[in-house]
Chains A and B, each alone.
Chain A
Amino acid sequence: MTDNIPLLRQCAVTLMRYAVRIMPDARAPWAPAMQNEMSAIESDGEALRWAIGCLAVSCIQKIKISFGGFMNRQKINNVSAVIPVVMSFFALLIVLTVVITGWERHLKDEGAAAHIFQILIAAQLPFVLSFLVTANWKRGVLVARPLAFQFLAIGLALGSVAFFRL
């Protein structure tokens, strides 16, 4: 039966079926709307272009709805503001643990505590960059405050190492 249908039209129909299949539930009514509209397009080439566009719509909607919950700019910014502070806090905690318990103080070379401390400090960089990139620079206070906390926290962590001469 498909032998009578031109190749371009067959490709268009196949792509459109795929577009319908991947359209997220929240946008489900739009899929048949786009699919049925193709029946009004007489040119096979135009139908193919239509189907490609609709497939792109479905893919973008799928990505938006699947990742929209945790991929929006504000959420990334909020998380990126807090994580470096938490990491600095744990780094400081390691320093205090070493000082109080004498953990690995006998080692001449760097031990696990030193490595964990270094990782906690170095791993903050991508989060700080992410915070700076996603920040709303029109509202300077909302950027400056978390940034000041981040610097204060990392300053405390690094300062404690210098203070206790670890």
Chain B
Amino acid sequence: MLEQPLAWRHGYELLKATGLKSGTLYPLLMRLSDQSLLASEWREPEKPGKPPRHVYRLTPDGLALAREQARDAPMPAVAGKWAGAKA
């Protein structure tokens, strides 16, 4: 969400990107939404016969907080992957 702040993402897409379970992801989304850090809206289905889906993206406040957190927190997993790719 931080990499492409303007992009709307589906719940399942977020689940795959984060590796979280749905039972963990949705309470997080609810909490972020309660704190006005997350915006959500309904999107019409891309394929006919499918139901509309909820999409999410960070609000400006959420984005500022995420950037702050990302700056403070080390990212060993990503660094490791990049190091491996280079090697």
Contacts and interface: CB of A to CB of B under 8 A. Distances in A.
B26 A36 contact: no
Closest 9 CB pairs of A and B: A53-B22, A53-B23, A33-B54, A36-B51, A56-B23, A37-B11, A57-B26, A53-B21, A50-B22
A57 B15 CA distance: 14
Contacts of A49: 21-22
A52 interface: yes
7 contacts: A34-B22, A49-B21, A50-B12, A52-B22, A53-B22, A53-B25, A61-B30
Interface of A: 27, 30, 32-37, 39-41, 49-50, 52-54, 56-57, 60-61
Interface of B: 10-12, 15, 21-27, 29-30, 40, 50-54
Q: DSSP majority for the B interface?
A: helix
A60 B21 CA distance: 15
B5 to A, nearest CB: 21
A57 B53 contact: no
A33 B9 CA distance: 12
Contacts of A52: 22-23
A37 B12 contact: yes
Nearest to A36: B51
A33 B11 contact: yes
A30 B11 CA distance: 11
A41 B12 contact: yes
A34 B14 CA distance: 12
A54 B30 contact: no
B11 to A, nearest CB: 5
Contacts of B30: 27, 30, 61
Nearest to A51: B22
A57 B12 contact: no
A30 B28 CA distance: 12
